[in-house]
Amino acid sequence: MNILLTNDDGITAPGIWAAARTLAAFGQVTVVAPAGNYSGYGAALPPNRSISFFNYHRAVEHPANVTAFGLSGTPAGCVQVGLSGVFD
């Protein structure tokens, strides 16, 4: 099973990594989360501009079966990019 995980607190937030560890038991997890904190902007669509991304590896306890990317966009933008298949 492929699982897409995002949040509005950013790629480094502890909560997304707790969720990723739990979900990794059920399949391959792809984390696509904002590079920074976007609390309160969960449904906001990104403006018409280029969106950049970077591979992210949690230095402490990076879960197996988890691939992660930080994105210069909102949480809704992260979902759009994640569902587009660009990280497959």
19, 30, 60 from 86: Cα distances, Å: 22, 11, 26
Query: Mean of the per-residue pLDDT values for the chain?
Result: 91
The pTM of the full predicted model, rounded to 2 decimals, is: 0.91
Query: Domain map of the chain by residue range?
Result: 1-34
Angle, CA of 67, 68 and 73, to the nearest 5°: 150
Provide the pLDDT for residue 50.
81
9: CB partners within 8 A, 6+ apart:
15, 16, 33, 37, 38, 39
Amino acid residing at 61 = E
Q: What pLDDT, in 10s, does the model give residues 54-88?
A: 999 998 889 999 999 999 989 998 998 999 987 77
The pLDDT tens digits of the residues spanning 17-56 come to 999 999 999 999 999 999 999 988 777 776 667 889 999 9
Given 3-state DSSP classes, what are the helix, strand and coil percentages for the chain, each rounded to the nearest 5? 20, 25, 55
Q: Dmax over Cα atoms in the chain, in whole Å? A: 37
